[in-house]
Structure formats: structure tokens, C-alpha cells
Structure 1
């Protein structure tokens, strides 16, 4: 599924790096998009509405992509999210493809602590 990888890399570039939420969603997200984040309803429009203030409308926020994995119909991106007035966060977004489009999304967020009990970096 190299097509999924190429499409996902473009989506990641548009969404996380360029912070162009609507363009990224129009490019690759299915109309029947299933959202597992409990604060956002299903469908692309609720996600666009929830994410635009954090991405497009917040130039001070950064989303540094650490790694991308694609395996068949599943794709994952590991991101370091940062912005003023809050600790950085490690974010993992997991997506499922169906018919060449992103059909489903899960996410996990973990604040980056000031100190760790070991010397293994989170990123």
C-alpha cells in the first residue's frame, strides 16, 4: 500500500507541518470519518472546527513530526506538540484507511514532564 504511505505523508505535511487543517482534511479524510476522540463528533467538519483554532489560528503552536508509520490500512504519526503557557506533549495519532481515504482516527496525548526517572527521551 505505497499509495497510502504517499497520501499519508502529504496529509501529515499539510496538517501538522503547514497547519492547513481544512486543506488536509479535504485532501484525504472520508465523509464517513469516525472520530474516537471523545471531545469531537464524527465527520470531517466537527474535526476541522475543533482543530482549526489549535493549528491554523495559532501560529505560536508547533507540531514537530517525530516519526510516521504506515502498515496496510493503518497509519500513525508521533508528534511533539508545543505552545506557549503549557508543557509540551507527546501525541500519537492513529488513522485507518478505507478506499484510499482516512476513515477513522484515535489519539493519545501525554504531557512531557519537567524531569524523568530515566534518561530515555520521549522523542
Structure 2
């Protein structure tokens, strides 16, 4: 398989997974995550089952996700999105970086930033 084909496959996989997750289908993570999934975010557990259990109880499970950008290559997917949890007026700006191998997410990093009031960001967050 070519690198371009893997990049396209990775983008389709991630967009499908995010779409399903945003609909409340947390079980889609069982299809996406490798059993030995490695998590780099502080406080989040590694391992597919531990991570899914953690995410199911976190605010992200009930949040609305507004995808702004998706960049993929043969090994990585990067998604920039606005995550708005119930009761959070402004939400968070999030960048997720996923490393994929053979159609499974094997590793994850993220950067999360609160979205300030609009007058503090004259050019917008997104």
C-alpha cells in the first residue's frame, strides 16, 4: 500500500471514529484503539480497556465536537477541533495527534486550551 493510500485511509478512519464518538458511540473506540494503546496525556490511562473506561466517565463523552482541520500522513492523524461540554459556554480548543499502525491507533498526544471570550481573540481561535 502506498503512503498516499495509507494517509487517505487514516483520515477516513479518524473521521469515521470521531463521527461515531460524537454520536455517543463510545464502543467505536474498541475498533479504533490497539489493545496496547499508549496514552501520553497526563492523568489518562494507557491500554485500550482502561482508556475507554476512563473516557466513558469523562466530560468529553458528552461534549459536542466541531472538527476544524484534519491532517494525515501514512503514520499520523492530527485533528484540530472545538470541544464544547454541556454547561461550558466557550469550550476548549483541542489538537489530537494519533499514531496509527495497520488501521489501529497505537499512540495519542493532545494539546488542550480553553477558548477565551471573543474580544480576547480578534482573529478567532479556529
- TM-score in terms of structure 2 length: 0.82
Matches within 5 A, 1:1-123: 1=6, 2-15=8-21, 17-22=22-27, 24-53=28-57, 54-56=59-61, 58=62, 61-86=63-88, 87-123=90-126
- Asked if the contact 1:21/1:55 (under 8 Å) is kept, the reply is no
Q: C-alpha offsets along residues 61-114 of structure 1, whole Å, 9 cap, x if unaligned?
A: 311111211111100111111134434110111100012211000011000111
- TM-score in terms of structure 1 length: 0.84
> Distance in 2 between the 1:55 and 1:117 partners?
25
SS at match of 1:12: helix
Quickly say closer, same or farther: Cα 1:114–1:46, change in 2 above 3 A: same
Q: Which structure is higher in helix share?
A: 2
For structure 2, list consecutive stretches of 5 or more residues without a partner in the other structure: 1-5
Question: Mean Cα displacement is larger for which, 40-49 or 82-91?
Answer: 82-91
